[in-house]
Amino acid sequence: MPKNLRPLTLLAALAATILVIAGCGGGSDDVPSDSVAKIGDSKITKTQFTHWFNAAAKQQAQSTGQTPADAVVPDPPSYTKCIAAKSKAPVPKGVPKPDPKALKSQCAQEYKGLRDQTLQFLISSQWLTQEAAKRKITATDKEVQTTFQQQKKQSFPKDADYKKFLQTSGQSETDLLYRVKLSVLTNKLQQSIVKKKATVSDKEISDYYNKNKQRFAQPETRDLEVVLATKKPKAQAALKAVKSGQKWAAVAKKFSTDDASKSQGGKLPGVTKGQQEKTFDAAIFSAQKGKVLGPIKTQFGFYVFRVTKITPAKQQTLEQVKTTIKNLLQSQGQQKALNDFVKDFQKRYKKMTNCAKGYVVEQCKNAPKTKTSTTPVSGAAPQTGGTPQPQTGTPQQVPPSGGGAAPQPTPQPSPQPTP
């Protein structure tokens, strides 16, 4: 399925800092009997959970090459249907057929993975919806429909493909519209968080430039013509040939063992200090322009060379790099704002989230503590863009540059429509 209708994680920042708990955990008496979780005054019903769980199971089956007819939803606690389906799967010759106990363990593991993914999606969706309402952020029917139609047209040029996707994905058009609505809310929420960080003062830009001048310095470069020979006599022969007036390209072709420069007629442009072997480097940057020198002994052989051009070191001015610094500081400010928001967002909503027994994940207030580290990778602020879906994935980070463009989340596996 094309990318813009693929399932995406909501607030991918949560994926970087929220880890699914290994066990089921205890339940909460605050959750109504018809529900799996309660967030504030809102509840996630068992009917909702079952619907999205079944959709996730179909998507997972299709991502592994199975057809919708082959997809079997794990059925706890006995897993009778799941075990029966797996027992019919072909086994390579010479490999013993797995016993029912092993198949049941496999079914239980698959159920737990799908259950946790689904709960993360549903809980995160509630968190987003409630936060948007608190901030008076809305997604109008027109906005949702416009976005949906754009994505549908791009993803499914043929209406038949779209209808087939609905038949095989376990999702209805209402589900897709719900996902689009969450996407619109997420983008608006992110924009509201970073809006105040779009302004960077001239003083901030100047201070950054003065503290980081070396980052905006262009070092001296030298263009060379070189011949590298493995033996000194060959290098001396090359030196003699060049001094006799032969063209450098011809001499390099005859004597040089350095294929890179040899293919360019012996030219080696844009050399900066420290790039070459120490002895050769010292000779290059003490040489006079136009003077043929060598042989210079190095660990690679003997060099004969001539400096053809010297470009002096140059410091870029504040005016030249002002836009670059402004974009960088904007991005850093927005990244910090997102980081601060995510930290507070998680803390507030986790306190409001109670989960029923058998449906406890790390987002639940009543989840047991885990020893697993929850530090975001590289300390960078993860994303807030995207639509939630019962899938796991790699957390995104806010791009390190660019004037506040909305970061995009990582697409997750989803069923592909058949042309």
Is residue 141 over pLDDT 90? Answer: yes
Please indicate, yes or no, whether residues 257 and 135 belong to a single structural domain of this protein: no
Band of pLDDT at residue 6, cut at 50, 70 and 90: very low
Closest CA to 185 of 133, 148, 124, 139: 139
Same structural domain, 70 and 157: yes
Q: What is the CATH number of the domain that holds 73?
A: 1.10.4030
Let me know whether 52 and 186 are in one domain.
yes
How many structural domains are present in the chain? 2
The yes-or-no verdict on residue 370 having pLDDT over 90 is no
- Strands 353-355 and 35-39, by their bridges, are antiparallel
Whether residues 183 and 261 share a domain: the answer is: no
**For position 27, what pLDDT does the model report?**
58
Predicted confidence at residue 93, as pLDDT, reads: 85
Please check whether residues 128 and 181 belong to one and the same domain. yes
Q: What percent of the chain has pLDDT over 90?
A: 66
Average pLDDT (76-105) is 88
Has residue 331 been placed in a domain? yes
* pTM, rounded to two decimals: 0.64
Q: pLDDT category, 68, cuts 50, 70, 90?
A: low
The model's confidence at residue 169, banded by pLDDT at 50, 70 and 90, is confident
Whether the pLDDT of residue 380 is over 90: the answer is: no
What pLDDT does 70 receive? 67
- pLDDT for 384 beyond 70: no
Inter-helix orientation angle 46-63/159-169, to 10°? 110
Tell me: do 115 and 78 sit in the same domain: yes
**Residues 296, 330: one domain?**
no
Q: Are residues 181 and 291 in the same domain?
A: no
Q: Does residue 31 sit in the same domain as residue 77?
A: yes
The answer on 283 and 164 residing in a single domain is no
Q: Would you state the pLDDT for residue 88?
A: 85
**The pLDDT value given to residue 69:** 63
7 & 113 share domain:
yes
Write out the residue range of the structural domain in which residue 342 sits. 3-90+97-198+324-379
